Amino acid sequence: MALISILIVSALEGCSSPPKNESLSMTGIYFDTVVQIEVWDAQQTILDECEEICAQYEQLLSPTIETSEVSKINQAQGAPVTVSDETAQLIRLGIEYGEISQGKFDITIASATNLWDFRDNKEKEIPYAEALSEAVSHINYHSVKVDGNTVTLTDPEAKIDLGGIAKGYIADKLKEYLKNQGVEHALINLGGNMLALGGRPDGSDFRIGIQEPFAADGTVLTNLSISDKSVVSSGNYERYFEKDGIIYHHILDPDTGYPVQNNLYQVTIISDSSVQGDALSTTCYALGLEAGMELIQNTDGVEAVFVTDDLEVHKTL
């Protein structure tokens, strides 16, 4: 994980109403990643509903579940598909971030990502150049049309993948639910996407450690203190493999289909919205240090930490 929560997690299983300032926590596997939620002064039923929310969104958005709405869009070969309000909203957000990033963030990247395998960080075969070239010809978020709840891919060979913003979107929805239930203090971790509701019950901030790239898990490079904020990281050391001395990682360039090549190891975004942090962390990594920092400096309410391949830390804070 790119981010490490530096706090004591006390899981009080079987306790429906913990004493004041005590916490309850849950851990589950959704979206092929670990989901952890810790809440203070809340009922167990609230955590149970959080798990149900995660399961519902997984059924809507997972590209690996054949009956999901994303899979139905990808299988439709250009035919219109009716989707839920949530899926339509997320696709619209994906198109919006495509515009903001000038195509560096593209939800139709799936035709290229489907050719790569970054699971378990073991050496894999590199896709053929011809296959990547063909895939890139179908990467264009402008081919995604949303009319109300109807989604159409004008390129029948295009495929969408909402993985670049889905975790952030779901984290925001979980925070919204917790807030509506009267929860004032919580920490949500969706596979390293950290989102805080308030601060700690004693009034202090949550401390979030940024993982040192390519170091042992839990090795902290620098710390952030946050309250009621989102912290999201993207980096080349999370899912990758090495072949012939070259690191191939999961952040792909929509223009080439190959992993983005620059001097960045990692980008961390601090923002109010986790879905915004999700999209901007990928975008800024693809843009590189100078252009990425310029984008953040021109975006209200957002800060960033960039880590270069010499482990130098650059902050807009």
The pLDDT tens digits for 237-254 are: 989 999 999 999 999 999
227 pLDDT higher than 80: yes
Is the residue at 135 inside a domain?
yes
CATH number at residue 83: 1.10.3980.10
Q: Which amino acid is at 284?
A: C
- Segments of 45-138 assigned E as strands: 81-82
Chain-centroid distance, C-alpha 206: 20
Q: Would you state the pLDDT for residue 19? A: 55
User: Residue 38 and residue 58: Cα distance in Å, rounded?
Assistant: 20
Consult the annotation and say whether 255 binds a ligand: no
pLDDT at residue 117 tops 90: yes
pLDDT at residue 38 above 50?
yes
C-alpha distances out from residue 88 to 61, 122, 302, Å: 11, 36, 25
Residues whose CB falls within 8 Å of the CB of residue 156, separated by 6 or more in sequence, listed in order: 77, 78
Residue 108 assigned ligand-binding role: no
CB 175 within 8 A of CB 228: no
Residue 210 pLDDT > 80, yes or no? yes
Report the sign of the C-alpha dihedral through residues 292, 293, 294, 296, in that order: positive
Q: Could you tell me how far CA 93 lies from the centroid of its own chain?
A: 13
Q: Is residue 144 part of a domain?
A: yes
96 pLDDT more than 90: yes
Q: Is the pLDDT of residue 64 over 60?
A: yes
Instruction: Identify the pLDDT of residue 45.
Output: 98
Q: How many CA atoms lie within 13 A of 16 on its CB side?
A: 1
The rounded percent of the chain whose pLDDT value lies above 70 is 94
**CB of 53 closer than 8 Å to CB of 174:** yes
Distance CA 13, CA 27 (A): 11
Other beta carbons within 10 Å of 212: 18
- Tell me how far apart the alpha carbons of residues 45 and 252 are, in angstroms, rounded to a whole number: 40
Q: Specify the pTM.
A: 0.91
Q: Are 220 and 210 in contact (CB under 8 A)?
A: yes
pLDDT surpasses 70 at 17: no
Instruction: Tell whether 111 is covered by a domain.
Output: yes
Query: Is residue 117 domain-resident?
Result: yes
Residue 18: pLDDT over 70: no
Provide the domain count of the chain. Answer: 1
DSSP state of 204: P
Q: How far apart are CA 102 and CA 301, in angstroms?
A: 20
In a domain, 123, yes or no: yes
Within a domain: 145: yes
pLDDT digits (tens, 9 = 90+) for 167-191: 999 999 999 999 999 999 999 999 9
Residue 68 within any structural domain of the chain = no
Tokens of 133: 């070239």
Expressed as residue numbers, the domain containing 128 is 73-162
Quick one: pLDDT band at residue 119, thresholds 50, 70, 90?
A: confident
Amino acid at 278: D
Q: Give the residue-averaged pLDDT of 123-142.
A: 96
Is 119 within the bounds of a domain?
A: yes
Instruction: Judge whether 164 is annotated as a binding position.
Output: yes
